[in-house]
Amino acid sequence: MNTKPDDELLALWVEDELDVSVHTEVEVWASGQAEWAERRELARRTRSLLGSTIPADEDLPNGEFFNARIRREIEVRETAPASRKPNGSSFLGWLVPLTAAASLVLGIWIGRGGPKSEIVPPPVADLTPVLYTPQKGVNAELMNSEDATVIVLAGVDAIPDSWEIPATVMREPETRPMASKDER
């Protein structure tokens, strides 16, 4: 194999999961690549280390385990006697609404009684547009007019005349006409 295999094949080779038919081709390419041999060796050491710490015969709990526990809890709560609800004369029965009402009144009183001052809006960041170009040597110029904003890129190869815009890009969203006042 003269060319570098794609990333998927290399990942499968590093994890020792390649088919036999492709394995030899990738192995020939990797024989001259020390970096990939180190990656493979590191993956093998990590796999053996994890294999020695996690017992293979111990299964992880699955969804049925958790569902069974939830079902059991629901059944226990359904069969348990109904708890006694507090009646209106108990201490907590009138304390909670009284505390909520007092908090509401206190909040309104503090809100109205504070010093009168002018509301100052928070500072606004400088919102000048920044032109970013992903390639070095490309200069961008922004031109605004009433009808359009145009970005001119200098240093970018021209689009060939043979290039066509895919049909999916050219689709316009479906629009429905608005109803006039007479139709309402």
Q: Which residues contact 40 (CB under 8 A, 6 or more apart)?
A: 13, 14, 16, 30
The closest alpha carbon to 138, from 150, 153, 151, 159, belongs to 153
Higher pLDDT, 2 or 71: 71
pLDDT value at position 138?
81
Binning pLDDT at 50, 70 and 90, where does residue 103 land? very high
- Tens digit of pLDDT for each residue in 10-65? 888 888 888 888 888 888 888 888 888 888 899 888 888 877 776 666 666 666 77
Instruction: Identify the bridge partners of residue 140 per DSSP, sorted by sequence position.
Output: 153
Higher pLDDT, 107 or 115: 107
The pairs formed by 89-93 with CB atoms below 8 angstroms and a separation of 24 or more are none
- Tens digit of pLDDT for each residue in 136-160? 778 888 888 888 888 888 888 777 8
Cα(134)–Cα(159) distance, integer angstroms: 17
pLDDT value at position 102?
92
Amino acid identity, position 3 = T
- Tens digit of pLDDT for each residue in 51-102? 777 666 666 666 677 788 888 888 888 887 665 555 555 677 788 888 999 9
Residue 122's CB is within 10 A of a number of other CB atoms, namely 5
Model-wide pTM > 0.85:
no
> By the 8 A CB rule, do 108 and 119 touch?
no
Q: Which pair of structure tokens corresponds to residue 6?
A: 């794609």
> By the 8 A CB rule, do 25 and 52 touch?
no
pLDDT value at position 3?
76
DSSP annotation of 18: -
Amino acid identity, position 86 = P
